[in-house]
A and B are shown apart, each in its own frame.
Chain A
Amino acid sequence: MSMIFRRALASVSTKSVEPKVVDVLIVGGGPAGLTLSAALKNSRITRDLNIQLVEGFKLDGVKSFYEETPELLTNRVSSLTPQSVEFLQRIGAWKFIRQERVQPYDGMVVTEGLSDARLSFDHPEIATMCENVNLQSSLYQRIKELESQTAEGEAFGLDIKDDTKVTSITKDESNDWPIVHLSNGESIKTRLLVGADGFNSPVRKFSGIESRGWFYNRFGTVATVKLEYAPFVSCAWQRFLPTGPIALLPMPDDNATMVWSTTPELSELLTKVEPELFVSLANAAFLLNNVDMEYYYQCLRKDETEGLVDDIQWRIDHMTQKFTEEELDEKFPVKIISVQDKSRARFPLRLSHADTYVADRIALVGDAAHTTHPLAGQGLNMGQGDVQALVNALEQGITRGLDIGNLLVLEPFWADRYPENNLLLGVVDKLHKLYACTSEPIVALRSFGLNAVNQLTLLKDFMIGHVSGK
């Protein structure tokens, strides 16, 4: 054999303690990372891959959720499109969803704070509301099920390390494979490194992939709430206020979850005010006009909240007098009566999109690749789409005998997802900007838009298509 060959052999064999080697290392045990793990182990073609998942936080809540399901709802809830649900069914995870805690909805009413314009959709199962932890738990259970089906004497080939952070990433000198260094002192070398590690993605940073975008200067305040009674039809409500949209999304029975997007200052006040006042303000946000709301924000800022609950109630009563019971039911969501203790939290809202999702031996999925405003409920669903496309690409790569870390394998994944995600990010961004605007001509134009949309069935179906991902 040739000289080069012998030299290379020598340099490989004299290496000291080699790190553990895997085929795929997934950083992040969020929705994207767990979905990818379950999907890869479910596929006939990729199941032989040796996979390591690393998650910085403890996954205790995810692991115990299915058997020791907590009584109260958790506050991170996402709307899953029919496609996401179908994918979860296909990979065998959906049957482990605690069905009593998810709520499909088939109506959506969009209104705005500066005019009476409204847009309403009726469409069977536009989407399904599901707690993130319920989703993660179903995936975890599916992984356990697959593990239990492994043939005797065969290794399952998926290990989940939680409570372990990735502290740094380097490259192997001999073959350029990434080596991931963990907080427990271990190092793992991998053929393919997948960043499912959320917005701050250490994997993206390591790979030098730029992510562009901006902070919306808005936070989403989430909360789990109780309604006066269980709504007759389950419907999602969203009202665009100049500070950002407020959404009330149905959960089973008289439960609902809200996302109130607003300025950093207000979101902080809203997470802190007395529960009773928070409930009043949330109801007001769906009913009262913007001038009233501005006044209440002012009171919050000055901490002059004495008697505010009564004042709000008085104005709401005054406003609702004009309507019959039936009209009220049709025009406004069921009244919120309480907010679950400790369920309020806030998250910064950003738009970001990585320049690419792939580099040599690197792939990014989910929030690591893109984040969006929650107004269209797309963030998590985009990640599900990414995972599907990545699994397809890896299946094809394996069938063709390629190295799955090779760009030739990864490029189709990114080509498949980038344009679609980019379009969605753009549409959502435009919607946010359109509604953040208070200038009169634009308000007039957009309320004309909303009303006109409501009339035009075709256009409406198109809009539904976007929200439900159809």
Chain B
Amino acid sequence: MIITRPIRVGCSGIARLVSAKRLHSHLTSSSSDELSHFNELAKTWWDVSGPQRILHKMNLLRMDFIQEMLRSYVPIPPETDIYVPGYSLDLLPSEISQQIVHEQETYRDEQLKQANLRALDIGCGGGILTESLARLNYIKSVVGVDLSPGVLEAASFHKLLDPITERKITYELKPVDQVQEKYDVVTMMEMLEHVDYPAEVLIQALDKVEVGGWLFLSTINRDLISYFTTILVAEHLIGIVPKGTHSFDKYINSKELVDWIGKRPGFEVVSVRGCMYVPFKGWVFCGDGTTGNYLAAVRRLS
């Protein structure tokens, strides 16, 4: 795999999004010094008490977000007796409303199970999210793609340890623009802040989403809080993330992202949610995603 490093375009955020050019198909993913950096991380990827503990913990929140979005979009048909408009649910006695919620959730389980979704995890790394997706009983298969042979090897090895992941996951060493098919669930976590041409990568990712399907992504706002938590504290002060993992000018504000996606026909940004790491507690959701790290859910309507 040859990755030529492009000439840096000296701008950031929205400017970086719109000015990105398709210079070379391989340029659409990570730049080379970042790749070698992730190779280093691969070895210890799966030790949940090790250096990747924060990432493992962050995965919990990602999964909560993905589950919430997918489940909430399973409609409860109005003609069934478990259909209750949201506001009246609160008016019912708690025992009855609990029972109704239980039946609604059971209904959603059944619907989702029949959906047999296919997922694509872009920038899958060691496979932490890939494996989690694969274990959901309504996901039929997951393809994980990444550009680092090292982490993919670790991921491929690790998936064999569990019959479920062994059966459902395929890892492929390729950039996103070489993925041919479309998927019901596409994920791209903590990737945009590491690439030189995020708009290109986003276009590619959106292109892989099946009509009615989802793109879940997470990245970081370009603000003081992000600088403080991800670079100053995480990399330099407490060292939970190796130095050089992030570069500030690559961060994209959630508003820029929402505006940009909103201009693309057929896509809707369903939710943007902020999240932060609280020592001794782990990752928690916070705010509307305009500061620090955030998750976004995008749906393809047509």
Contact = CB atoms under 8 A, between A and B. Distances in A.
Contact of A4 (B105, B131, B136, B157): B157
Contact of A174 (B102, B109, B161): B161
Contact of A5 (B133, B153, B162, B163): B153
A22 to B, nearest CB: 11
Contacts of A8: 156-157, 160
Contact of B102 (A44, A191, A408): A44
B132 A402 contact: yes
Given A2-B152, A21-B163, A400 B157 contact: no
Interface string B234-264: 0000000000000000000000000000000
Contacts of A402: 60, 63, 132, 135
B51 interface: no
B63 A401 contact: yes
Contact of A401 (B57, B131, B153): B131
A401 B132 contact: yes
A399 B67 contact: yes
A12 interface: yes
A407 interface: yes
Contacts of B205: none
Contacts of A401: 63, 131-136
Interface string A1-41: 11011001100100000000100000000000000000000
Nearest to B106: A44
26 contacts: A1-B156, A2-B152, A4-B153, A4-B157, A5-B153, A5-B157, A5-B160, A8-B157, A8-B160, A44-B105, A48-B137, A175-B160, A176-B161, A399-B63, A399-B64, A400-B60, A400-B64, A400-B67, A401-B63, A401-B133, A401-B135, A402-B60, A403-B131, A403-B135, A408-B56, A408-B60
A402 B64 CA distance: 11
A164 interface: no
B63 A400 contact: yes
Interface string B265-284: 00000000000000000000
10 closest residue pairs by CB, A with B: A401-B132, A400-B63, A175-B161, A5-B156, A401-B135, A2-B153, A408-B48, A8-B160, A401-B136, A4-B153
A12 B135 contact: no
Interface in B133-192: 133-137, 149, 152-153, 156-157, 160-163, 171
Nearest to A5: B156
B132 A4 contact: no
A406 interface: yes
Interface of B: 48-49, 56-57, 59-60, 63-64, 67, 102, 105-106, 109, 131-137, 149, 152-153, 156-157, 160-163, 171
A87 B153 CA distance: 46
Contacts of B106: 44
Contact of A403 (B109, B137, B157, B162): B162
Nearest to B63: A400
Interface in A322-347: none
Contacts of B163: 21
Nearest to A404: B135
Nearest to B163: A21
Contacts of B49: 407
A6 B149 CA distance: 14
Given A44-B102, A406-B48, A407-B48, A400 B156 contact: no
Nearest to B61: A400
Contacts of A400: 59-60, 63-64, 67, 132
A12 B159 CA distance: 12
B149 A2 contact: yes
Contacts of B134: 401
B156 A2 contact: yes
B234 to A, nearest CB: 20
Contacts of B162: 175, 191, 403
Nearest to B46: A406
B160 A12 contact: yes
Contacts of A175: 160-162
Contacts of A398: 135
A407 B57 CA distance: 12
A48 B171 CA distance: 27
- Residue among A8, A9, A191 having the largest count of chain B Cβ atoms under 10 Å: A8
Nearest to A177: B161
Nearest to A403: B162
Interface in A401-419: 401-403, 406-408
A407 B56 CA distance: 11
A412 to B, nearest CB: 10
Nearest to B153: A2
A176 to B, nearest CB: 8
Contacts of B102: 44
Contacts of A12: 160
Contacts of B149: 2
A384 B156 CA distance: 40
A9 B160 contact: yes
A21 B152 CA distance: 27
Contacts of B131: 401, 403
A8 to B, nearest CB: 5
Contacts of B48: 406-408
A8 B157 CA distance: 7
A176 B157 CA distance: 14
Nearest to B66: A401
Contacts of B60: 400, 402, 408
Interface string A198-238: 00000000000000000000000000000000000000000
B219 to A, nearest CB: 21
Contacts of B57: 408
Contacts of B156: 1-2, 4-5, 8
Nearest to B170: A1
A5 to B, nearest CB: 4
A189 to B, nearest CB: 10
Nearest to A21: B163
Contacts of A407: 48-49
A400 B56 CA distance: 11
A406 B134 CA distance: 15
A4 B160 CA distance: 11
Contacts of B132: 400-402
A2 B153 CA distance: 6
B47 to A, nearest CB: 10
Nearest to B149: A2
Contacts of A9: 160
Contacts of B160: 5, 8-9, 12, 174-175
